[in-house]
């Protein structure tokens, strides 16, 4: 077994299996992080995937599952499996395809598995923060944990654990949760979670692996998605199994079928007895992150029995009704703006066209050589087609604008390609407030729309006009009436579904003078 750092981990945090890669912060990943921070998209934290299949070797299924969830995090990936006696772990920095090989997967033998792909919002980008994490529980033995979300009271909990003598091996809030669980008594994980999770505030969709079970839990607001799938049939030859996954698209890739979502405030345990459920904490009005529908989740996923593709089409149709413009072509910023652009074209009667081609081989690991090449990443990723755009009044549809940097470069590129006018339409309301529940927005000062009108933002990015979908229009597309529980719109309206620690709030909400 290789430790993840030169100093020994605390007794509660057991680092198992093959853990390789530079334990520091490699220059390429620092560059990737800077590129992400400068980009015009929100970044979310992590994909969770787990398999319980008594008659299968599950490592390859876990690999396929997190490969399908790669869009949720591109910094690190890991898989932990159990053969009923021992937990084996492999995790490294990098994309799923870079982290795993046939040899590494062959070493991960077992019929229960838990996997993770990470984008960091709390905790730095280094291998010690890669997941799953494995900790030792005095009564349960080794337990692996994977986490999607962000704990708003992580610092207070970290301080409390430190005062109790806990020596942290990582900087992630996931270890804070692991430390709490390790110190919570109980002869089964369900009981431990029922006792521990009410102390934890914020967003968390969790997967756990013990020697003989797979467990899932979701915060009481249901901020982050988590679903349950079924692999095979009870009487089918070759056996059956259960899956937990951040999105249903990960079920599709392994031939599993969607059963249902893990409910807010629910603990689901899957073991030799089957699937059983328990509740924890208070029953609260659900407040799922609306940006799962706007951008984060893949359009081929289903959440709350809604096709995300159909929801994004509806956003585009409503945007066309709210913000019409005379144009010759509707084009998307590929790929995230495509469904809304199709909806806009359908409702407006303006022809849809692919005006830009996106390279499928550029990701956030692209290294910008120096300041003078800042635009190179955008030019490599999005290439306008002059023969489509020349002389045309273009309606450019995207899902959101965060900082405005990419939008400005795209508008400039369209004009260089010959577009006579560029009208930008955004299929979400303006983002004016930071998120405390797992979206990577450091402060209001980063947000181009925080204190600017649509006209002012349009002027900054160089568009002939710019308009956003209204909040009422977004609610309409989500089938959520004003005042009705079900979604969190905090980054759009500043109304947070849970109390935010005062210092965290001051740091993030303050605008630079």
Average pLDDT over residues 457-465: 98
> Do 157 and 272 sit in the same domain of this protein?
yes
Last residue of a domain, one of 257, 283, 309: 283
Q: Supply 501's token pair.
A: 């620690």
> Do 359 and 239 sit in the same domain of this protein?
no
> Do 69 and 208 sit in the same domain of this protein?
yes
Which whole-number Å values give the CA distances from 315 to 311, 336, 353, 448, in the listed order?
6, 13, 18, 22
Q: Supply 407's token pair.
A: 């939008």
In the prediction, which pLDDT does 504 show?
Answer: 56
Average pLDDT over residues 26-44: 46
pLDDT in tens, 429-444: 999 998 888 676 657 8
In a domain, 139, yes or no: yes
> Do 93 and 235 sit in the same domain of this protein?
yes
Q: Which positions are catalytic?
A: 46
Nearest to 300 by CA among 290, 312, 315, 288: 312
In the prediction, which pLDDT does 435 show?
Answer: 86
Percent of the chain surpassing pLDDT 90: 70
Residue 54 scores a pLDDT above 60 = yes
Residue 469 scores a pLDDT above 90 = yes
CA angle at 462 for the pair 461 and 466, rounded to the nearest 5°? 75
In a domain, 1, yes or no: no
Average pLDDT over residues 53-79: 95
Residue 425 scores a pLDDT above 90 = yes
Q: What is the CATH number of the domain that holds 466?
A: 3.40.50.2020
Q: Supply 486's token pair.
A: 């079900």
In a domain, 379, yes or no: yes
Average pLDDT over residues 476-480: 90
Return the minimum-mean-pLDDT range out of 74-88, 265-279, 416-430, 497-511.
497-511
Residue 335 CA to residue 356 CA, distance in Å, equals 10
Strand partners, 357: 383
> Do 161 and 305 sit in the same domain of this protein?
no
Of 6-20, 101-115, 423-437, which one has max mean pLDDT? 101-115
pTM to 2 decimal places = 0.88
Return the minimum-mean-pLDDT range out of 184-193, 341-350, 369-378, 496-505.
369-378
In a domain, 10, yes or no: no
In a domain, 395, yes or no: yes
> Do 259 and 348 sit in the same domain of this protein?
no
> How many CB atoms neighbour CB 8 within 10 A?
11
In the prediction, which pLDDT does 503 show?
Answer: 53
In the prediction, which pLDDT does 128 show?
Answer: 78
Nearest to 189 by CA among 161, 225, 219, 213: 213
pLDDT bracket for residue 446 (50, 70, 90) = confident
Average pLDDT over residues 410-418: 97
Q: Supply 230's token pair.
A: 């079924």
Mean pLDDT, rounded, of the chain:
86
pLDDT bracket for residue 284 (50, 70, 90) = confident
> Do 255 and 309 sit in the same domain of this protein?
no
Nearest to 126 by CA among 200, 35, 30: 30
Return the minimum-mean-pLDDT range out of 50-54, 170-174, 463-467.
170-174
Residue 68 CA to residue 375 CA, distance in Å, equals 29
In a domain, 288, yes or no: no
Please tell me the total count of domains within the chain.
2
Residue 511 CA to residue 451 CA, distance in Å, equals 9
In a domain, 265, yes or no: yes
Q: What is the CATH number of the domain that holds 78?
A: 3.60.20.10
Residue 124 scores a pLDDT above 70 = no
Which whole-number Å values give the CA distances from 41 to 302, 315, 431, 441, in the listed order?
22, 18, 11, 10
Q: Supply 198's token pair.
A: 């009410």
Return the minimum-mean-pLDDT range out of 17-31, 79-93, 262-276, 287-301.
17-31
Residue 118 in contact with residue 77, Cβ under 8 Å? yes
pLDDT bracket for residue 463 (50, 70, 90) = very high
Phi, psi for 279 (deg, rounded to 5) = -110, 160
> Do 308 and 246 sit in the same domain of this protein?
no
Does residue 234 or residue 308 have the better pLDDT? 308
pLDDT in tens, 186-229: 999 999 999 999 999 999 999 999 999 999 999 999 999 999 99
> Do 210 and 64 sit in the same domain of this protein?
yes
In a domain, 505, yes or no: yes
> Do 404 and 456 sit in the same domain of this protein?
yes
Q: What is the span of the domain harbouring residue 259? A: 18-22+42-283
In the prediction, which pLDDT does 51 show?
Answer: 98
Residue 147 scores a pLDDT above 80 = yes
Return the minimum-mean-pLDDT range out of 36-45, 81-90, 197-206.
36-45
Last residue of a domain, one of 283, 308, 323: 283
> Do 416 and 469 sit in the same domain of this protein?
yes
Residue 367 scores a pLDDT above 60 = no
- The bridge status of strand 421-426 relative to strand 465-468 is parallel
Last residue of a domain, one of 255, 283, 311: 283
Residue 117 scores a pLDDT above 70 = yes
> Do 272 and 333 sit in the same domain of this protein?
no
């Amino acid at each position: 077994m290789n430790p993840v750092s030169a100093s020994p981990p605390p007794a509660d945090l057991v680092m198992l299996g093959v853990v390789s890669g530079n334990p520091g912060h490699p220059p390429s990943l620092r560059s990737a992080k800077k590129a992400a921070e400068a980009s015009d998209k929100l970044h979310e934290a992590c994909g969770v995937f787990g398999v319980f299949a008594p008659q299968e070797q599950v490592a390859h299924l876990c690999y396929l599952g997190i490969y399908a969830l790669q869009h949720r995090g591109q910094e690190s990936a890991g898989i932990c499996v159990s053969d009923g006696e021992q937990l084996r772990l492999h995790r490294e920095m990098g994309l799923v395809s870079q982290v795993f090989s046939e040899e590494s997967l062959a070493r991960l033998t077992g019929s229960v598995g838990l996997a993770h792909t990470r984008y960091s919002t709390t905790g730095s980008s280094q291998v010690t923060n890669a997941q799953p994490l494995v900790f030792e529980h005095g009564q349960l033995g080794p337990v692996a944990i994977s986490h999607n979300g962000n704990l708003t009271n992580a610092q207070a909990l970290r301080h409390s654990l430190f005062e109790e003598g806990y020596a942290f091996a990582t900087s992630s809030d996931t270890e804070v949760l692991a430390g709490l669980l390790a110190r919570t008594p109980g002869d089964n994980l369900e009981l431990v979670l029922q006792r521990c999770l009410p102390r934890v505030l914020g967003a968390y969709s969790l997967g756990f692996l013990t020697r003989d079970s797979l467990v899932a839990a979701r915060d009481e607001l249901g901020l982050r998605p988590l679903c349950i799938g079924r692999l095979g049939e009870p009487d089918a030859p070759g056996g059956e199994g259960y899956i937990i996954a951040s999105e249903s698209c990960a079920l599709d890739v392994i031939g599993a079928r969607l059963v249902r979502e893990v409910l807010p405030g629910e603990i689901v345990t899957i073991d030799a007895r089957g699937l059983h459920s328990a509740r924890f904490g208070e029953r609260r009005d659900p407040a799922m992150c609306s940006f799962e529908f706007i951008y984060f989740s893949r359009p081929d996923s289903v959440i709350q029995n809604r096709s995300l593709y159909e929801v994004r089409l509806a956003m585009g149709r409503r945007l066309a009704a709210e913000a019409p413009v005379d144009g010759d072509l509707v084009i998307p910023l590929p790929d995230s703006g495509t469904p809304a652009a199709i909806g806009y074209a359908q409702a407006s009667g303006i022809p849809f066209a692919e005006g830009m081609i996106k390279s499928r081989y550029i990701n956030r690991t692209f290294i910008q050589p120096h300041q003078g090449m800042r635009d190179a990443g955008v030019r490599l990723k999005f290439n306008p087609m002059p023969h489509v755009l020349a002389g045309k009044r273009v309606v450019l549809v995207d899902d959101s604008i965060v900082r405005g940097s990419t939008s400005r470069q795209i508008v400039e590129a369209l004009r260089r390609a010959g577009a006579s006018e560029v009208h930008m339409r955004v299929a979400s309301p303006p983002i004016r407030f930071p998120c405390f529940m797992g979206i990577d927005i450091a402060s209001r000062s980063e947000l181009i729309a925080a204190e600017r009108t649509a006209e002012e933002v349009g002027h900054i990015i160089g568009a002939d006009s710019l308009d956003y979908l209204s909040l009422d229009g977004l609610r309409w597309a989500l089938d959520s009436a004003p005042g009705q529980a079900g979604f969190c719109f905090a980054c759009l309206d500043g109304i947070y579904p849970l109390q935010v620690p005062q210092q965290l709030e001051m740091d993030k909400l303050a605008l630079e003078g």
